[in-house]
Each structure stands twice: as C-alpha cells, then as structure tokens.
Amino acid sequence: MKRFLCIAVALSMLLSAAALFSGCSGDSASKEYPVTIGSVTIDKEPENIVVLSDDLADIISYIGYDVKMVGRSIECDQEFLSVVPSVGSADNPSIDTITGYGTDLVLADDTLSEKSRQKLEAEGVPVISMVKAESMDELKVLYTNLGTVLGGNVTGHKIGEDAYEELISTIKSLRGTVSNDIVKTSAYLYIEQNGQLYTFPSGSIEATLFGYSGALNVFENQQGPAVNAEELRMATPSFIFCDSQEVIDYLNNDEALSNMTALKTDHVLIIPLSDFSRQGVTYEQIVYTMIDAMFVEHDDASPDENAPEESRIQPGEIAGELE
C-alpha cells in the first residue's frame, strides 16, 4: 500500500510541476503581445509584413526580421531586398497586391497617403508609421520599437536593442582599424535644387555617422547645411564623398574649386545621400566604404601634403565625438 501511495504522490508532484511550467510558458507568451505603438495595437506576432520605407526595411534587415517581408515599395531598392516583390510606390501602393499576400502588418513612414492608409485599415490591415531617426538616441528607440512590433515586448525588444548595440559596436570596430598616425581630411557634399552645395551640419545624425570614417571632417563645426565655397577651397580635403556625378561636375567646372587636392588625386567617391537615410545594413556599408577608400586602398598616401599649411586640420580636431 505504501508503495502505491508513494507512486501516487510522485505522480501528483510531476503533474503539479508540469502545470506550473505550463503556466509560466503561458505567462511568458502573454507578455509578448499585445504591442501598442502610438495609436495602433498589434494583438499577435506579425507573420507577413509589407514595408513601405527604405529606411525601415534597412533596419528590419539588420535586425533579422526581413524573413517576414512579403512585399516592399519600389523605394526599397537596396540590392539585398531585390528578392522581395514590389507592391508599388510608398505613397500609393497597390492595396490589392498587399492584401493578396495575406499581409497582417504594413510598416510605413510619413510618405504613405492618408487615402491609402484608410483603404488598408478598411481591409483589416493595420498600418504603423515610423520616421527616420534624427539622433543616435532616436535610432536606438527606432530599433527597439521595430523589434518589439515584430517579435514581442520581451523577445523582440531585446533583439532590436541588441541589434542596435551590434551596429554601433561594428562601426566602432571598423573605425578602430584606422591608425591614429594616419591623418586624412574629408568632406561630404550634395547639391539641392537651388544649385547650392550642402553638407551635413554639426550635430546631425549624418555628421555623426560620417565621423566614424576615421578622417577629419573639414566641416565638423558647420552650423548650417549650406557650404561656403571659399571655406571649402581653403580646407582642400584630401577625400571628397558626394551624392552624385552632378557634384563632381560642379566642382570641376568651378575654377577655384577644381584645384582641390581630392580632385587632383582622383580621391572622389559617390555615396548617394539617400544611403545616409538607410539606418541599418546600409549604415554599416557606408562606414566600411569610406574607411576602405581612404585607409585601405590608398594607405600609402601621405596626410594632406598638398594642403596649404594654414588650412590643415590638426589630429586633435577630429569630427564630433561618437556615441
């Protein structure tokens, strides 16, 4: 009798333990969803998402949730997203195509028209809008918000947070490969519709990313985006990164600027301005490209030997401290 009693007690304990762990699992799952971002609440983990923002698609890919993407807008033209079908433009996508993919979430920015948003919501497809981060703090929030939406309050949040930390760590590691004994000066230039040269003003997230290149930004203290041509000529950066061929033509056709060191040594490289608004996979690629161009392929070049003495930037004047 005692033997049967012991077996019964042991079985009871096992069943109780199983119920306990089952309850814990249920509690854990219940903590993941619902997720609320702004005025939109997601009740369960999205499986099929459509992304109408090249920036958000870039970050989602870096986080690792790109496997959920069943559609993208034509603006998401990164090469690594080419396998994802297009659903039309970011402002006016094909609603039928989106719903036909069994989409349970659309992620967009402020480009999406209100009419398209209403049509999607009328079809039962929730739309969450997120805009480009303007600071590194905002970028961390953007990563964690996307992770939370796509993976849950606990798991997804942690994945997004870890991905942001990995991005910063990787970029810093790339910069760490640059010897402090090698001094390069650089600038980023683009042209607006008014024909004026522009750069990244001090404190902007673009200027912060540009600073990870390991070179000295001649416009480190630039208060506004407009570039003074005479200051550019005097600074004579050894490397120029620019938005397009239009910028290169502008510089070559300007009598004063055409003699700059970067142009004379063919140290000019195009990195589209739009890439600086893609804050995931492309961010990492930008830093790698700049470092490779300045310190790997041309590591035999001497630091700004052709620059006028009075215009040379000293090593201590490095572009903004990186976070």
The one-letter amino acid code at 113 reads: S
Give dist(CA 51, CA 71) in Å, integer: 6
Question: Model's pTM, two decimal places?
Answer: 0.84
Residue/partner pairs of 297-304 with CB below 8 Å, 24 or more apart: 298/267, 299/182, 301/184, 301/238, 301/265, 303/182, 303/183, 303/184, 303/238, 304/183, 304/184, 304/185, 304/236, 304/238, 304/261
What is the arithmetic mean of pLDDT over 228-250?
96
Q: Is the pLDDT of residue 277 over 50?
A: yes
Token representation of residue 65: 């949730």
What is the pLDDT confidence band of residue 29, given thresholds at 50, 70 and 90? low
Distance (Å, whole) CA 91 – CA 107: 12
Q: How confident is the model at residue 310 (pLDDT cuts 50, 70, 90)?
A: very low
- Cα–Cα dist 106/290, whole Å: 34
DSSP-based three-state secondary structure for 70 = strand
- pLDDT number for residue 186: 97
Helix and strand tally (H, E) in the chain? 11, 11
Q: Give the H/E segment covering residue 230.
A: helix 229-235
pLDDT at residue 316 tops 50: no
Residue-wise pLDDT for 105-163, tens only, equals 999 999 999 999 999 999 999 999 999 999 999 999 999 999 999 999 999 999 999 99
**Mean of pLDDT values over 170-192:** 92
